[in-house]
Structure 1
Amino acid sequence: MHPKSLSDWLSYIESQHPNNIELGLDRCSAVLDKLNYDRPKNDIFTISGTNGKGSTCTFLTHFLGMKGLSVGTFTSPHFVRFNERIAINGEPVSDDIICQAFAHIEEIRGNIALTYFEFNTLAAIYIFSNANLDYWVLEVGLGGRLDSVNMIDADVAAVTSISLDHIDWLGDSLDVIAQEKVGIARKGKLLISGVNNPPKSLAVRASEIGADLKQKGEDFYYNLNPNNTWSWQGNGQSINDLPIPSLPVENAATVLAILSYCGFDLEFEVLSKLMLDASLTGRYQTLMTSPNIILDVAHNPEAAQELQRRIKASNKQTVAVCGMLHDKDIEAVLTCLKDDFKQWYLADLEGPRGASSDQLSQYLNTSKQFKSVAEAFDAAVKEVGTDDINIIVFGSFVTVADCISHHEENY
């Protein structure tokens, strides 16, 4: 007898494999072969990278929607509701649709043990196939080559950035990690790289695969202008004086390369609206004003540098509400940002991966420590309480999710 509610299903699929993460395509591909799915009418975009995957998926989804095209978008993790992971035309699908997908996968998988993420990926493919969509946008969960998303051949692959993260799974050098992330590319198909200063292994692996590689800094470029706009050049085209988006410009530049090399028209008016309208939960997102609360999921050194840039550009004093996972590079993140915040409110994160506020505090000169994100957030709001200071909640998807839930219930 199948579970009835989505929460029951999620509890069930969490219990079906002994490991939360087990990279490899064999199990999932065996079930995929039984799924009898149809690809979209046009292309599948697959996005990998250390940072910037979510922003890139958001820009792509929003652009396709503006063109009147239907699109299914698969992302992870979610913040408050699981449904956020599987969206059609930018809207999360219903509990009933997800439950029907899980039930079908359960019926066809036989005795093949699937991880939580593999169930999710197969559900998204089943749902998108049934919806007869124009495009799919698929975000890699971890790495690329061995991630379950990679069991589907991409028509267009993109690597947004490469830095040291998940080293236990992907390797402890940029050369190795680059090869893993480029593993989503296919022979004769576009591979767009938005990687800054890419390791040589990226182009080498792309050549071995036979992908049509286009790289930032070689095939396309972007620059920030003095008048608070930005410009893009590539593929024989130039787009000048675009508005600065709320999401990182470097990811917008990668998306323009994807669109240009795929043959879409780069119309200034459409792209300007895209820059102004595209937003994403937890990516330097304003949660509330008076006081000013900003959410950011920055949790590795590269993301910390981007957050630092935004803090400096704001010209405002800032305080931090921070919680992190102990398997992240806590020292590098906090060392990068320690002088950018007037005060630190550190939170314990629950669960086996959660770091304590004590662990975080050793890398800071001074801080206040709390048992939860909610307590740290409430203290910051109470003590700061002015529009002249930004309160930035960051350090993990878990931290931001806890803050959103607490805010929805209490503010």
Structure 2
Amino acid sequence: MTQLSVPSTSAGLHAWLTYLEHLHHQAIDMGLDRVKQVAEQLNLLQPSAKVMTVAGTNGKGSTVRYLETILRADGYQTGVYISPHLHRYNERVRINGEQLSDAEHVAAFAAVEEARGDISLTYFEFGTLAALWLMQQRNLDVWVLEIGLGGRLDAVNIIDADVALLTSVGIDHVGFLGADRTGIAREKAGIFRPHRPAICGEPDLPATLVEQAQAQQVQLQRVGYEFFYKPQDAQHWQFRNSDIQLLDLPLPQLPLPNAATAVAALAALPLPVTLTAIKQGLEQAREPGRLQFLAATAQRPADTLLDVAHNPHAAAYLVDVLRQRYPERPVLAVVGMLQDKDIAGTLATLQPLVAQWFFADLSEPRGARAEQLQQQLPSTANVAGCFADVASAYAAALAAATPAPEGSNQQQPLVLVCGSFYTVGKIADTE
């Protein structure tokens, strides 16, 4: 392996990220031994803050955002770590809701570089340690950490969470987590800790996982068993567990199941959280690229909905949202995906609601060609075309989304952009 030159602290964030990309011999290398050794050198393994760790096939980002906005509404000092980012690496770490400067990230990378010695780290492992180091520098009350992939062997899992959250269990990353829900659930539940709360928003949790958690004396709290939620009226919902009942909670913009999981987790956190803060945080929670609505403008002649749905489980929820919020609007779908995703299953889930498809090549590693996507649809599907990039596909969809004739009962089409973080990021970046 070619010897890499370590960037200086004045080299800039881009130089450091390039260095991280080429440091390890493979992009994903599951395991905790190497990253834990470096964490010990940096004294990161026993944070003074309370820690909440969020795993799941889908719903992690919105759940993290709910936790953050509610805790901040109650005056708590928060640190958040998420992945991946849409536009800039700086999005991955937030302190009290704010992103950090390039210089702060570089300082963190330099600290990790000094501590690792000859231990090789992946891009994600290096970034995770840097994020934890950044949070450690502040006097924070709560760390909210999103699991990148799986759970048990994910670098974030070196930290023992005070409360662990599992949002959902679906089929994804089969090359690393397995091809069945039982195996995937077991990997994700690796973030659970004995005698500590584990909040599960997955309504169909495999029985073997429940038995395993109970045998390990995990304080398991499952939706539909230990906590419950339901719509109350057109604008409110309610939550209850064995200790509390909360009424008149505002319906949030982000998915309601993840809001309920977040509220259940905060109820289990050994810090008091007020009802006022819960309501305020629910109303404020927004997450770029998750059910993000962009209203039509002079430059963008059609309403657009951005969502990073990239597997059948997420696509099914997206279909439900489209049916509820935009029941009469034709959907023009701009889609770009990665080759290792369940392309056929995702497109089949979206197919009943899509009036016309606009497929795009993704140039990123593992990116699928537009023609590969089209081949997964029946020949009768209305495909407008295959495009060399997302921007071209989006421009074509906007041009096709002409307003309905005046006086007609037809609704103007809605442009949907989905299939990957890469796909959505290219559109949102132009706003």
The TM-score by the shorter chain falls in which range?
over 0.9
The aligned runs of 1:6-405 (5 Å cut-off) are 6-37=13-44, 39-262=46-269, 267-290=274-297, 291-314=302-325, 315=327, 316-364=329-377, 365-367=381-383, 368-386=385-403, 388-405=412-429
Taking structure 2 as the reference length, the TM-score comes to: 0.91
Measure the CA separation in 2 of the matches of 1:380 and 1:196: 36
Measure the CA separation in 2 of the matches of 1:348 and 1:136: 37
The corresponding residue for 2:3 is none
Measure the CA separation in 1 of the matches of 2:311 and 2:189: 20
Q: State the secondary structure of the residue aligned to 1:107.
A: helix
Contact 2:51 2:162 in 1 (8 A): yes
Measure the CA separation in 1 of the matches of 2:272 and 2:98: 25
Offset at 1:226?
4.5
Contact 1:38 1:129 in 2 (8 A): no
Measure the CA separation in 1 of the matches of 2:233 and 2:80: 35
* Letter paired with 1:96: A
* Letter paired with 1:78: H
Offset at 1:225?
3.5
* Letter paired with 2:193: R
Contact 1:182 1:205 in 2 (8 A): no
Of stretches 4-13 and 36-45 in structure 1, the one that deviates more from structure 2 is 36-45
Contact 2:71 2:281 in 1 (8 A): no
Give percent identity, aligned residues only.
41
Measure the CA separation in 2 of the matches of 1:186 and 1:195: 18
Offset at 1:204?
2.1
Q: State the secondary structure of the residue aligned to 1:214.
A: strand
Offset at 1:261?
2.1
Measure the CA separation in 2 of the matches of 1:39 and 1:286: 40
* Letter paired with 1:349: L
Gaps of at least 5 residues in structure 1 are none
Contact 2:45 2:158 in 1 (8 A): no
Measure the CA separation in 1 of the matches of 2:270 and 2:161: 17
Q: State the secondary structure of the residue aligned to 2:19.
A: helix
Q: State the secondary structure of the residue aligned to 1:342.
A: strand
Offset at 1:357?
1.1
Measure the CA separation in 1 of the matches of 2:169 and 2:402: 38
Count of aligned pairs: 407
Taking structure 1 as the reference length, the TM-score comes to: 0.95
Measure the CA separation in 1 of the matches of 2:87 and 2:249: 33
Contact 1:176 1:201 in 2 (8 A): no
* Letter paired with 2:195: G
Q: State the secondary structure of the residue aligned to 1:157.
A: strand
* Letter paired with 2:287: L
Offset at 1:276?
1.8
Offset at 1:36?
2.1
Contact 1:40 1:133 in 2 (8 A): no
Offset at 1:2?
2.6
Q: CA 1:241/1:363 → structure 2, altered by over 3 Å: closer, same or farther?
A: farther
Q: State the secondary structure of the residue aligned to 2:41.
A: coil
Offset at 1:96?
0.6
Contact 2:50 2:141 in 1 (8 A): yes
Of stretches 10-19 and 285-294 in structure 1, the one that deviates more from structure 2 is 285-294
Measure the CA separation in 1 of the matches of 2:186 and 2:44: 29
Offset at 1:273?
2.3
* Letter paired with 1:34: Q
* Letter paired with 1:310: V
Kindly report the root-mean-square deviation, in angstroms, between the aligned alpha carbons of the 2 structures. 1.6
Measure the CA separation in 1 of the matches of 2:157 and 2:57: 16
Gaps of at least 5 residues in structure 2 are 1-5, 404-410
